[in-house]
Amino acid sequence: MNATGALGRYGEELAARLLADAGMTVLARNWRCGRAGEIDIVARDGDTVVVCEVKTRRAGGFEHPMAAVTPAKAGRLRHLAACWLERQGVPPAGGVRIDLIGIVLPPRGAPRIEHARGVA
């Protein structure tokens, strides 16, 4: 695995722990729907299915991770959420929500984690 892949996996691990600590149940990680793409984390928050996109960056010259979800990316996430629901067969009582977790890793100290709910 290259450095970028390792950084992404680390961020996804932090995000999964954040969701679990918030009382959510992680249902799947790195769930793929053919060529449509991948959902980083699928979780359940009460009766709601949560599709989570995780973006991790090192502090420095890169844009903030939250800026990486463009309108096109949001559209792909909505399509992936529909694929997930279709494969499950039963729609969740609480519907579906798309969240974004942005993680910035400073050179020293704890990661800065932001969880934005219902972004797309």
Q: What is the pLDDT confidence band of residue 70, given thresholds at 50, 70 and 90?
A: confident
SS (H, E, C) 36-104: HCEEEEEEEECCEEEEEEEEEEECCCCCCHHHHCCHHHHHHHHHHHHHHHHHHCCCCCCCEEEEEEEEE
Who contacts 105 (Cβ-Cβ below 8 Å, separation ≥6)?
A: 7, 11, 56, 57, 58, 59, 111
Q: Which domains does the chain have, with CATH numbers?
A: 3-106 (3.40.1350.10)
pLDDT tens, 94-117? Answer: 999 999 999 999 989 999 999 999
Average pLDDT over residues 36-47: 95
pTM to 2 decimals? 0.90
Q: What's the one-letter identity of residue 106?
A: P
Candidates 1, 23, 32, 17; CA nearest to 103 is 17
Query: What DSSP state is assigned to residue 111?
Result: P
SS3 of 25, please?
A: strand
